[in-house]
Each structure stands twice: as C-alpha cells, then as structure tokens.
Amino acid sequence: MTIKLDFVSVINDLLVQKVDLVKKTITTDSLGNVEAIVNPRITINCCIQPITQKNWNVLEMGLPVSGQMIGYFKPSYTQFSTDYEVEEDDEILKDGITYTVEKIVAKPEHNGEVTHIKAIIHRD
C-alpha cells in the first residue's frame, strides 16, 4: 500500500459522522431570471468538532463566535453518478441542527490530489 492510500484510509476512518449535505443550486436563464431552485440532499460522512484555541491561533481568526465548529469532509461525494463537493453556503444537517458552511479553510493536497476539506461551519 502506498503512503497516499494509507493516508486516505486514515482520513476516511476519522470521517464517521453521518450527516445530510444540502446543496443550494439556482438555475437562471440568459437574462438572469431564476428558472429553478433545486436543493439536492445527500447523506455523507464527515467529522464535526468544536473549534479549539489552537485552530483560532493558527487561522488568525480573532475570537471564536458562538455556534461555530470545524468540519472535515472528503474531497467529493458521489450519489446517482453525480459528484458533489462541500462548498461555502451549503447546509449540513446533523441531529436536527442546521449548520451553514461559512468558509473553506483548507484543501490539503498530496501529489496534486485533495485529501480532505476543512471548513468552518456555523449553527443557524
């Protein structure tokens, strides 16, 4: 097994929380008028945890805001032959709580491939 496969395997072992990812997709016509709003909802594995003091110092973000958490996600998720990536303004539904992806903090890479996505999420 290569180092990359070992690393990806470790990351996948840590992403064990099942949540729903809701993508906000707005289709517009050539004039900018909204034609359709589709909110696909897929079940994904991730890891959501409180923001630590270390996170705030490393990210130089000032003081933590109540309701903010750190989310770790796979680079993409596939459902019905469609690939989905966690992006800013997406919603994460966990145990009846809705979080909004506020900011993508990092997309670490190994040999040019993203290994995981780290994001700040905020409880709505």
Pairing relationship of beta strands 77-79 and 82-84 according to DSSP bridges = antiparallel
CATH fold group of domain 3-123: Thrombin, subunit H (2.40.10)
Single-letter amino acid, residue 29? D
Q: How far apart are the C-alpha atoms of 62 and 60, rounded to whole Å?
A: 6
pLDDT classification of 62: cutoffs 50, 70, 90 = low
Q: What is the pTM of this model?
A: 0.78
Spatial neighbors of 87 by CB under 8 A, at least 6 apart, are 23, 101, 104
Is the pLDDT at 87 greater than 90, yes or no? yes
pLDDT tens for each residue of 14-59: 888 899 999 877 788 888 888 887 788 999 999 998 877 665 655 5
